[in-house]
Chains A and B, each alone.
Chain A
Amino acid sequence: MDDVIAKSKEVTLLEILDRVLNKGVIISGDIVISVADVDLIYLGLKVLLSSVETMERLRGAPIYSPYQEPS
């Protein structure tokens, strides 16, 4: 069974960035990174807006989750 589950040491950087930048508790510290600041990181990764749009079109209707928070 272990071969299908990535061990935490082999977890890619993507998995880490996706969590520590996008999730985690946000409280009013003296300095907290805003969502707009995090977007800079994606710009740094040369994300083309068009590719996101393509994905959304391709995906069609979003997957329904009763638990999903409005984004």
Chain B
Amino acid sequence: MSAEATARELIYLYCVTKKAPRLKYVEKLADKISFVYYQGLYAVVSKVKESEFSAENLRKNLADLEWVKKQAGIHEKIIEGIMKDACVVPFKFGTIFDNEHNLKGCLAENGKEFNDNLDRLRGREEWGVKIYFDAGKLRDFISGESEEILRIDKEIGSSPPGKGYFLKKKKEELLKKELNRKINECGQESFDRLAGKGLDARINKLLPREVTEREDDMILNSAFLIDKNKVKDFKSEVDAIKGQFKEMGLCLDCTGPWPPYNFCKISKEKAKNG
């Protein structure tokens, strides 16, 4: 690759706003952060090197977890900085344009939808709730709560070894069934209660332990769109559920406010055919 090609720059798009973005919180986070104005919309962008972000190089870098972690952090921090005093439409990691002309073309084509989203999201915040469960603790809780299991336990105590073995197997099966029921019930209950406090809600894919690096398993990965004036109310509900779930070994993680990653609606046809 020639030196000239290596030095070529691309445009990385972070978010779009309707209000002139204040760059003072973010200008040190990446190279040449600026905004591109087009018909009432401001696109917050930075220059990135083709040697890092061309389609081919980006794909290579995505396999490098340390690189991804660093870049994802920058992406998030820049959007959060802009969000401090403007409503934003946040883009997915790695949305890149060859030149300003193409970026403006995108703003022209999607302008109405960006504007609609920004109008709809004004005064609202995205909050995330993930619930994890500790299998051991939940088993203990169910064992102490289920009358049927308590009855089998009693029977095991007074049975000969042969019968005891089958009773134990029966108890195991029952426990598993109850565990599954409880997990679904609790996940559903929290989602419904929290969705009731918001304007919109989403359930996302569960992440396995290898990704979460936790000892317990995720049973709910959800996001809520909350009116800024109702955040206190939402948090009280989070606390109430958290308190209620604690003895069952269920742990609730609430984070926010986030850029509205889950609540921007851009018609899929358009995104695909662009």
Report which A residues bind B (CB closer than 8 A). Answer: 1, 4-6, 8, 11, 13-33, 37-38, 40-48, 51-52, 55, 58-61, 63-65, 67-69, 71
B198–chain A nearest beta-carbon distance, Å: 10
A8-B255, A11-B255, A17-B68 as given contacts; A25 in contact with B184, CB under 8 Å: no
Contact residues of B: prevailing secondary structure: mixed
User: Which of B21-29, B31-39, B87-95, B150-158 is found at the contact surface with chain A?
Assistant: B87-95
**The one of B69, B97, B191, B271 that contacts A13, using a Cβ cutoff of 8 Å:** B69
A38–chain B nearest beta-carbon distance, Å: 7
Report which B residues bind A (CB closer than 8 A). Answer: 10, 13, 53-55, 58-59, 62-65, 68-69, 72-73, 75-76, 80, 89-98, 102, 106, 110, 128, 180-181, 183-184, 187-188, 191, 195, 200-213, 217-221, 235-236, 238-239, 242, 252-259, 261-262, 264, 266, 271-274
How many angstroms between the C-alpha atoms of A36 and B199 in the bound complex?
31
B91–chain A nearest beta-carbon distance, Å: 5
How many angstroms between the C-alpha atoms of A21 and B264 in the bound complex?
15
How many angstroms between the C-alpha atoms of A48 and B209 in the bound complex?
10
